[in-house]
Structures are given as C-alpha cells and as structure tokens.
Structure 1
C-alpha cells in the first residue's frame, strides 16, 4: 500500500490505540530483570494491578496473550477428566472450550445463539442436576468480543450459589477489563483472565490470572501438567517483585503508567466514557437502519458494537473499502458471522471526537458500497454526545 496521510483509525476491538505516555514508558531502556530497579517495578505493578480487577487477592502476570491466560486458568485448577461447564456466547467462548478439550478436560457446552449472553438460569439448572458435583468449574466470557454481548457475572455467581454447588467460577475479561465494570472479589470470581491489549491500552504481550483463595487451594490438588503456567512458581518469587523466568520488562514499564492513567481519570469515569461512546454508536447504527448483533439492550457491550449488514451485502467488502479509502480498520466477523457483521471498537484510549470520526468513516463506507441505510447517523451520535458531556467537559463548565 502507498503512504496514506493522516492518523490511521484503529477501530477494531483490540489491540487498541496505545497512548503516548505508555509508549514512552515502553521505549525506556530495558533494565536488569534481576536487579533492584526491576524488583521495585515488579512490586508496584503486581500490587497496583489488583485495583483494576477490584481484588485484594494476587494477580499473576504472564508474558503471553490472553489465550495463554485461558490455559493457565484451566491447568492450575483442574485435573485430567474433570468436567467444566461452559456457555456458548460466541467465537471466544468456543475457543476456550476447544482449549479445555485439548487439555483432556471434559468440557460441557450449553448452546447459545451468538446474540445473547450467558443464561444464569441454565447454569443453575445444570448445576442443580449435578448431585455428585462432577462439574468442577464454570467458565464464561464476560464480554464476548465477537458479538458485542456482555454477560451478567454477578447473576452467574448467584446461580452457582443457589444450586449449592462448589464449582469454581472462571471468567474471561479480556475485552472488558479496564472498559466495563468488573468486580473479582465482590462477584465471587475464582479466576479472572485478562489481557493487556484492550482496555489496559498496551500492546499485546501481557496476560493475567486474578485468583481467589479457593482457586489457589484447588491448584494444590490439580493434576494437569503445568510448568510455564504454574501459579506457585510465580507467587513464590512475585513476593519480591521478580518472576521465575524472563518477564516482558518493557511492557511492565508501560503497565505501570497505564494503571496510573486509569486511576487519574478514575475507573468510574473510564467506564462512563465507554458507556457513552457505546450508546452514541448504537444510536448511529439504529438511525442507519442496521441491526445490532446483540439483541438484549441489558447486555449491550460498552467495548464494541457488532453491526449486521442486510442480506446480500458483504461486511468484508465494506471493511476493505473503508480501509483503502479512509484509512480506518474495523473488526471482522468471526465464525458463522464472517462477512455478515463488522465490529466497531470503542475501548481504550479514545474520546468523543474519535468516536464520531470513526462513525463518519463507516457512514461514508456505506455510501460508497451502496449499502441501504438512512444518512445522518453520525448526527444522531453527535446529538447524543453533545448532550451527555463527559467529566472533562463538565469540569470546564
């Protein structure tokens, strides 16, 4: 491709834009990962990251993608032949299910429709049937990145409790952590899986397991093979701020700054900013006359919006035209949604003008591709945003 002037709009639902202060921290000289300077850095990030998960318990940091943290959650808590109950919400819940099966875990999948979140009542009913407690864990995705659907994790916790079942609760927050309110301790989650490349505003390369006391106790009895992912090796040396093998030193420098930025803005303000961008996007989509993949308004994601195109129109062709003509990347449809939906990411480091700029690019693309729509969707988004100013604007008034 020839050079395209101006800023590229990265509007996929992750990786997201990395802010300049984080990039500057990552670009600092690499330090000795066994030296005292790194020990101080390690202690700070290992302590401070707990506030993002809203937990007082340990958070383990891996030099890996979120997929690695999926595997770590499973191998540290389960044994060969154990049964885990999962719920199909989309592409990423399906991938986690496949990983479990490859590890020798019996993964039972409750079928979903890719337009709705986890049904807590179905979880409760299945656990109530399991009188022998053969199900050792329930594993669900908080925010399904392929569909733009957010599930009610507190309701899943209540379902497990209502069934009187001892199963562990494992939750994927890869596309919600730092973007949508999540409460590891309050919601009784045993293992929370996270990644660096979305709401935490970092490049890919770090992943996380926040763990409860119950999960750590289970790990002492779990029999699945583990070495790189072993929690105990991590926890033993993490106390001094170090890692059992070479960590992603420069990404940890960036993580320190990203955590500070999230707290300077205030987590509640961060979540409100994402809520506002998501609602503006949905109003725009509805004005166009297009369909939102998520069917239940109570489950709308604040990290991204997946948009369905009318039959006979190619979402991939639309994305390609928008990239070529307007220098903007949108998320593609995955699995059965391939070429049927496009995904607009509105998470991480962004503000209202970036949201309206992205929506303008989509509306121009719809026009170029001859996709039926009602023009003026961007104005509907602007009308909403101008009447719902964020904290920065309110402070200036």
Structure 2
C-alpha cells in the first residue's frame, strides 16, 4: 500500500468533510431512544432544524439516504396514475423521473441539455396548457449535483402562481441545503427533499422532508402505497419526542452540532462563503482556458463547479492522476457526461486555504494529464479570494 502523509482532500460534491466537533458529538454513548433524554433531544432538534429550511412547518427526519426522501415526497402526496411534470436538468433529475415512473406515476419530462436549470417560461407554457389541471406536481432539482447548475426556484414558484395552477411543488435540495440560499416557506415549496452528507456536514444516513400545509392536506388522500415513509405516524410520534422506528441516534447528535455550527457562523455568511468559493473556482477554470459546464450566469452553483474538458481528453484520466499523485478526490462525470467533465466540490466545512490547495492540485493534475491550460487560473482565483 502507498504511504500517505497529510490529510486526504475530499473534494467531491458530497459526501463532504465532517468537522471534528461533529465527529466528537457523534462519538457520544448511544442512549435509549424511548427514554426522556432522547425525547428532549428530538423536540429540541425538530425546532433547531427549521431555520436551515427557512420554514415554520414540520420537518420529517428519516434514517435513509436522499433517495429515500425522494420516495417519501412522492408517495405521501400522490396517487397511482397521477401526472407529474419534471425537468431534465441532469443525472439526478433523471433518476427522480425514473423513480416516479416505477411508483406508477405518469411523468412529463421536459428535455434539457444538462447545462441549464429548469425553465420557468417553459413551465408557465405547460401549466397554462393544462386546462383540465391533470398535472398534480412539479418536481425540480434545486442544485443538480451532476452538473453544477442551480435552478431558480423563486421563478418556478412565480410561474406556477401566474398560471393559477394547483400543482404541488416538490424540490430536491440534497446538494444545496446549508450551502445555497433556500426558502421553503417564502418560495411556496410543498415538499423539500434533503440529505445529511453535503451542506449539513454529516456522514450519509439521514434524509429529510420539509412539508407544507398544502402537502399535509394532500397526504390525507394520497393513495400510493407507503409504510416506512408515511409522514403521519412520524409526525405524531415526534410530538412526544420519539420516532415510530429506531432512529439513527448518533447521527442526530451530529446533526445538532452541525446546525449549531451553521447558525453560529450565520446562514447569510455561510451562503456568502459558498458564493465566494464558487466565484474563485470559476475564475480559475476560465483563467486556465477551460469551460465551466453551467451555461447561464444566473445558475452557477455555490456547491460545486463542473469543468468541461476539450475534446480528446478523458476527465476520468485527469481524476485518476490527481488521486494517485496528490491524494485528492474529485467528482466524476455522471450519465451522458461520463469522461467529459470532472466536478470540484467546494461545500460544507471548507475555507479559502482549502480551496487554494484544491485548485493547485487540479492545476498540477491537468499538466500531468497533458491538458493544455493557460498559466493564470490559480492567480485569478486567489485574487477573488483576496478581494472578497
């Protein structure tokens, strides 16, 4: 085995680096999940988590991945044969579409080029044409982890309202929650889907549904089969500080600590930090003479940057060199982008010097892989960091 010194640079867009204080919180002894100490933890945590979603409504916590929270959002609000409208913004939007179809829903999938977010104008046209109101939900990935493109959810909400359409709005924030400004209540989102392993700075294993009153009403008549994912028994048990299943107790300890860290920094400051790191990364990419995958200036992700390589170069080869030579992991291209891009994660427990080291590693790896780049990229990124 190769001997390594220093820390591994985990610069994929999730799972992200877990802070030491969160690891310490998770290492506490496991307690009785039916006892009063746990009940007090749960009641406090269910209030503590609401500001990161910007909601006053219930947040349901599952011991599951974000994929589980996708399924929970669908099965709690919809019935067999219901029609949903979704946007092809990338690999994960495609997987959500496939899940909806497997559950017995009919999906109108708006095609996309994986370089732009969900189109509010196209949504407005389709909802206006739906005079019989057969579309029951609109599914949008806020931050597409496979592309580094952030859809404009406030504009999506305005398009739904302008059409005076009753469709539910379901939004995936798995790689944006805690990293990019998000407002569940203000934007009229009905179900927000999230996971623990990205902006919330935890290991994988927790997922979330933030739920509107409209979604709760819909859940009373939804007929898709569900048991584990059913909101009703969870929300009822939560009132007493418990869950109807064995919860991921030690991950909940870590969640409490992670939320306290985010609030101590201040959510506006957290979002500004991610915006700064995103801008610096793009400055490096452009300075190298390479292309950022996201094609709309309004939709650049604060969580990650996808870098498109010139024809004739294999992005996975670049990633392999960087991992072997510099002990740094970068995100692979997924689906149709396999081998064409690599993804730089700059989210979670992250600072300016970590980004500078990350970009230096990318620059050296590009050289070693024979990708011709201009010399000014790293300096341009450092100027962004300095001037901010």
Deviations 1:131-179 (A, max 9, x none): 1111100000000000000011011111111111100000000000000
Deviations 1:11-45 (A, max 9, x none): 00000000011000111111111011110111111
1:224 match = 224
Distance between the aligned counterparts of 1:358 and 1:113, measured in 2? 28
Alignment of 1:15-164 (within 5 A): 15-164=15-164
1:300 match = 300
In the TM superposition, what is the alpha-carbon distance from 1:354 to its structure 2 partner? 0.2
Task: Please give the TM-score of this superposition, normalised by the length of structure 2.
Answer: 0.99
Distance between the aligned counterparts of 1:270 and 1:3, measured in 2? 35
Deviations 1:156-207 (A, max 9, x none): 1111111111000000000000000000000000000000000000000000
The 8 Å contact of residues 205 and 251 in structure 1, kept in 2 or not, is answered as yes
Distance between the aligned counterparts of 2:258 and 2:43, measured in 1? 16
The 8 Å contact of residues 363 and 375 in structure 1, kept in 2 or not, is answered as no
- Where in structure 1 do 4 or more consecutive aligned residues deviate above 3 Å? none
- Unaligned 5+ residue runs, structure 1? 389-397
The 8 Å contact of residues 331 and 342 in structure 1, kept in 2 or not, is answered as yes
Aligned: 1:196 with 2:158: no
Distance between the aligned counterparts of 1:240 and 1:368, measured in 2? 58
The 8 Å contact of residues 13 and 343 in structure 1, kept in 2 or not, is answered as yes
Which secondary structure does the structure 1 equivalent of 2:49 belong to? Answer: helix
Deviations 1:112-132 (A, max 9, x none): 110000100111111111111
Which secondary structure does the structure 1 equivalent of 2:373 belong to? Answer: coil
Which secondary structure does the structure 1 equivalent of 2:294 belong to? Answer: coil
The 8 Å contact of residues 80 and 224 in structure 1, kept in 2 or not, is answered as yes
The 8 Å contact of residues 123 and 156 in structure 1, kept in 2 or not, is answered as yes
Task: Please give the TM-score of this superposition, normalised by the length of structure 1.
Answer: 0.97
Distance between the aligned counterparts of 2:3 and 2:253, measured in 1? 32
Distance between the aligned counterparts of 2:355 and 2:55, measured in 1? 31
Distance between the aligned counterparts of 2:199 and 2:83, measured in 1? 31
1:374 match = 374
Distance between the aligned counterparts of 1:330 and 1:31, measured in 2? 37
In the TM superposition, what is the alpha-carbon distance from 1:380 to its structure 2 partner? 1.1
Which secondary structure does the structure 1 equivalent of 2:197 belong to? Answer: coil
Distance between the aligned counterparts of 1:122 and 1:265, measured in 2? 38
2:267 match = 267
1:323 match = 323
Deviations 1:72-94 (A, max 9, x none): 00000000000000011000000
1:395 match = none
Distance between the aligned counterparts of 1:338 and 1:281, measured in 2? 21
Distance between the aligned counterparts of 2:305 and 2:204, measured in 1? 21
In the TM superposition, what is the alpha-carbon distance from 1:376 to its structure 2 partner? 3.0
1:237 match = 237
In the TM superposition, what is the alpha-carbon distance from 1:387 to its structure 2 partner? 1.2
Distance between the aligned counterparts of 1:201 and 1:45, measured in 2? 16
1:212 match = 212
The 8 Å contact of residues 274 and 303 in structure 1, kept in 2 or not, is answered as yes
RMSD of aligned alpha carbons? 0.6
The number of aligned residues is 388
Distance between the aligned counterparts of 2:124 and 2:341, measured in 1? 32
- Unaligned 5+ residue runs, structure 2? none
Distance between the aligned counterparts of 2:147 and 2:261, measured in 1? 28
Distance between the aligned counterparts of 2:67 and 2:384, measured in 1? 37
2:168 match = 168
